[in-house]
Amino acid sequence: MISVHFPVLLVVVPLMAAPVCLLLRRLPTATWVVATAVSWLCLFFAVSLLLRVLDGGPISYLLGNWAAPWGIEYRVDVANAFVLVIVASIGAIITPYTRQSVLRELSPRRIYLFYVMFCLNLSGLLGISVTGDAFNLFVFLEISALSGYALISMGRDRRALTATYRYVVMGTVGATFYVIGLGLLYMMTGTLNMADLAARIPAVSHTRTIHAALAFLTVGIGLKVAMFPLHTWLPNAYTWAPSAVTAFLASTATKVAVYVLVRVFFTIFGKADVFELFPVRDTLMGLAIIAMFAASFVAIYQDNVKRMLAYSSIAQVGYMILGISFATVTGLTGGIIHLFNHALMKCALFLAIGCVFYRVGSLNIRDYAGLGQRMPLTMAAFVTAGLSLIGVPATVGFVSKWYLVQAALERDLWLIAALVVASSLLAVIYIWRVVEIAYFRAPPEGAPAVAEAPVSLLVPTWIMALASVYFGIDATHTVDIAHKAATALLGGGS
Amino acid sequence: MSFPGLYNYWIVIVLMMAGFYMVIAHGNLIKKVVGLNVFQVSVFVLYISMGKIKGGTAPILEDGFTLYSNPLPSVLILTAIVVGVATTAMALALIVRIRDAYGTIEEDEIDAQEEDS
């Protein structure tokens, strides 16, 4: 049965599609067709894997049939099957959007390169999520990072180049820190398989080497996550990248990095007692709270709408880290569910911004004047996703905040619970700024007429916006999956 | 073990810090990439050092040899070298385009131009 090979096909199919796109460089439309087909195929693989995992427990796939822990093992459990579905579905829904958006924002001779890099990026992100081998994870981390750099540098503005350069430097430092941490773990345990690492670390968890490894891994992944003081690469990179790239990376790349952090904390170090020795989690909790407030405050003062949303992403990553730092089932459920929810709403917001940029050609908030009347569908999608970002009941944002507040109350952290609610109010301010200008301010005299965005842009935007409402009203499936994932992760790695 | 016995780890630390310092302190984009490379090379040395056993030979079954070095760290580093080369190429390609766009590769001059625009 071919379905046995789905875990590896998830990686191989987009990886092979990249050179195919390269060969088709004279036919930009054909490269788009390939990328679309591949991303939908990956979604099919991911969903069928999730269903199988929910039914029959974790799946282990041995690459080349070399037995784990010596060979590379791909291991799919509820947590990473869920992440796979998130990444694949964002990819599948964005590809139809890219066609016209990319045509508008990239020079025609670079379009095939966009799809080459998109396929590589998808392959890397899915690879990170599916692999059960810590070094293999590093390789995929770099595949996705390098293709991500190339995608961001395709932005028309020259500032995209300097933003990418900064990202290259910080991303490489982050990845190298990860390798150092992994090397130290290998030194003490002699294995790279995550499950095997989890079994061997407790015996040596008192050593300084293991403590240093944890520190290197946390900082390295923190750079990739854009966790609060390590976030400085993110705002510029997201602002100057092409719209479709921002929407894709914002809703997948940092989410996958958060997943890696969860994996390291709860699978690799799951059975070790290092967290009792070091206040890693308390530190993360503090940083998460600072991120939620500081980044939201900065977002309020941005005149560039895309930059505003980029800062908001840093704040939202704070919520995920907060959920992780509770280290309880409810907290981790909140973190994982917010990973999914934030992917939906941030994707919808960036896609809506992309629609505006397609017609208006500007990211400045002043040019949004009167857009509520002139691009009603786009702005309605923006408002829907914006409400979700704030956490209004009956949207996904409410569901994640509900679990985070509950997790805080479970541990009698009243102040933290209050801070989660208070920081949501900051989101009200920056979303309202856009709404006010778009709906209540007349366009300037002599402004060129603006039509509604084309259907191929609107449909993906609305799918994401409606999903962020749908999964807020009927959250039973997503919460159930996140709960199962959290229980399995805290249960010690299986 | 006495100090000179594990001197390669001291080299790793010195290289790592020197490289990292270059990345942070230098304003020239090329020098930053050089620093990044030194930083990465220090990690390569770290991995290769940990696999080596004094007097150990390559892990090939042969009469008269009983002590083998671990080949896996070296293999991992082959992969990491490839990644490092790709990153360097990527960074250098970006620098070429930055020079086209800004006419300089000094960070402070680029920042000044960005603030003007």
Say if A38 falls within a structural domain.
Answer: no
pLDDT tens for each residue of chain A, 494 residues long: 788 888 889 999 999 999 998 998 888 888 999 999 999 999 999 999 999 988 888 888 888 888 878 888 999 999 989 999 999 999 999 999 988 888 888 888 888 899 999 999 999 999 999 999 999 999 999 999 999 999 999 988 888 999 999 999 999 999 999 999 999 999 889 889 998 898 888 888 888 888 889 999 999 999 999 888 888 899 999 999 999 999 999 999 999 999 999 999 888 888 876 677 678 888 888 999 999 999 999 999 988 999 999 999 999 999 999 998 888 889 899 999 999 999 999 999 999 999 988 888 888 888 888 888 888 888 899 999 999 988 888 888 888 888 999 899 988 888 888 988 888 888 899 999 888 888 888 877 766 777 788 888 889 999 999 998 898 888 888 888 898 888 888 874 43
Say if A86 falls within a structural domain.
Answer: no
Q: Determine, for residues A180 and B110 on separate chains, whether the beta-carbon distance falls below 8 Å.
A: no
Rounded to whole angstroms, the Cα distance separating B106 from A350 reads 32
Cβ contacts of A2-8, under 8 Å, gap ≥ 24: A3/A48, A3/A52, A4/A61, A5/A61, A6/A45, A6/A48, A6/A49, A7/A49, A7/A59, A7/A61, A7/A74, A7/A76, A7/A130, A8/A61, A8/A63, A8/A74
Choose among A146, A168, A180: nearest Cβ to B43.
Answer: A180
Choose among B36, B73, B76: nearest Cβ to A172.
Answer: B36
**Res A359: pLDDT:** 86
Q: How many domains does chain B have?
A: 1
Q: How many domains does chain A have?
A: 1
Token pair of A72 as six digits: 């590379």
Q: Determine, for residues A162 and B39 on separate chains, whether the beta-carbon distance falls below 8 Å.
A: no
Three-state DSSP class for B60? coil
Please name the residue that has the structure tokens 């400045």: A364
What residues form DSSP beta bridges with A193? Answer: A133
A172–chain B nearest CA distance, Å: 8
By the 8 A CB rule, do A239 and A163 touch?
yes
Choose among B39, B50, B76: nearest Cβ to A135.
Answer: B76
Contacts of B70 in chain A (CB under 8 A): 190
Say if A363 falls within a structural domain.
Answer: yes
A74: which DSSP letter?
Answer: E
**Res A494: pLDDT:** 38
* Domain assignment of residue B9, given as a range: 3-116
Nearest CA in chain A to B87: A146
Q: What is the pLDDT of residues A396-454, one digit of tens each?
A: 888 888 899 989 998 888 888 898 888 888 889 999 988 888 888 887 776 677 778 88
Query: Residue A323: which of A477, A486, A91 has the closest Cα?
Result: A486
Query: What angle in degrees, to the nearest 10, is found between the helix axes of A134-152 and B72-102?
Result: 10
A162–chain B nearest CA distance, Å: 7
What are the distances in angstroms from CA A153 to CA A132, A160, B95, B97?
31, 5, 11, 10
Token pair of B14 as six digits: 């010195």
Token pair of B110 as six digits: 């680029």
B43–chain A nearest CA distance, Å: 6
Residues A378-404: b if buried by 16+ CB within 10 A, e if exposed: bbebbbbbbbbbbbbeebbbbbbbbbb
**What ranges make up the beta strands (E) of A253-350?**
none
Query: Residue B83: which of A72, A25, A149 has the closest Cα?
Result: A149
- What are the percentages of helix, strand and coil residues in chain B, rounded to 5? 75, 5, 20
Nearest CA in chain B to A150: B90
Rounded to whole angstroms, the Cα distance separating A450 from A439 reads 15
Rounded to whole angstroms, the Cα distance separating A307 from B30 reads 28
The two most distant CA atoms of chain A are separated, in Å, by 73
Q: Determine, for residues B40 and A186 on separate chains, whether the beta-carbon distance falls below 8 Å.
A: no
Rounded to whole angstroms, the Cα distance separating A457 from A451 reads 13
Say if A396 falls within a structural domain.
Answer: yes
Rounded to whole angstroms, the Cα distance separating A149 from A121 reads 10
Contacts of B98 in chain A (CB under 8 A): 158, 161-162, 165
CATH of residue B55's domain is 1.10.287.3510
Q: Determine, for residues A153 and B94 on separate chains, whether the beta-carbon distance falls below 8 Å.
A: yes
| E strand or H helix that includes residue A73 | strand A73-76
Say if A458 falls within a structural domain.
Answer: yes
CB count in 10 Å sphere of residue A24: 18
A233–chain B nearest CA distance, Å: 14
B116–chain A nearest CA distance, Å: 12
Say if A310 falls within a structural domain.
Answer: yes
By the 8 A CB rule, do A368 and A254 touch?
no
Q: What is the pLDDT of residues B32-56, one digit of tens each?
A: 999 999 999 999 999 988 888 877 8
**Res A493: pLDDT:** 41
Rounded to whole angstroms, the Cα distance separating A281 from A287 reads 10
Contacts of A150 in chain B (CB under 8 A): 90
* Domain assignment of residue A368, given as a range: 283-494
The number of C-alpha atoms within 13 Å of A466 and in the hemisphere containing its C-beta is 8
By the 8 A CB rule, do A427 and A346 touch?
no
Three-state DSSP class for B52? coil
0.90 surpassed by pTM = yes
Rounded to whole angstroms, the Cα distance separating A263 from A370 reads 46
Please name the residue that has the structure tokens 């990644």: B83
pLDDT tens for each residue of chain B, 117 residues long: 455 667 888 899 999 999 999 999 988 999 999 999 999 999 999 998 888 887 788 888 878 778 888 888 888 999 999 999 999 999 999 999 999 999 888 888 888 888 876
Query: Residue A401: which of A322, A484, A311 has the closest Cα?
Result: A322
Q: Determine, for residues A180 and B23 on separate chains, whether the beta-carbon distance falls below 8 Å.
A: no
Q: Determine, for residues B98 and A139 on separate chains, whether the beta-carbon distance falls below 8 Å.
A: no
A208 touches chain B (CB under 8 A): no
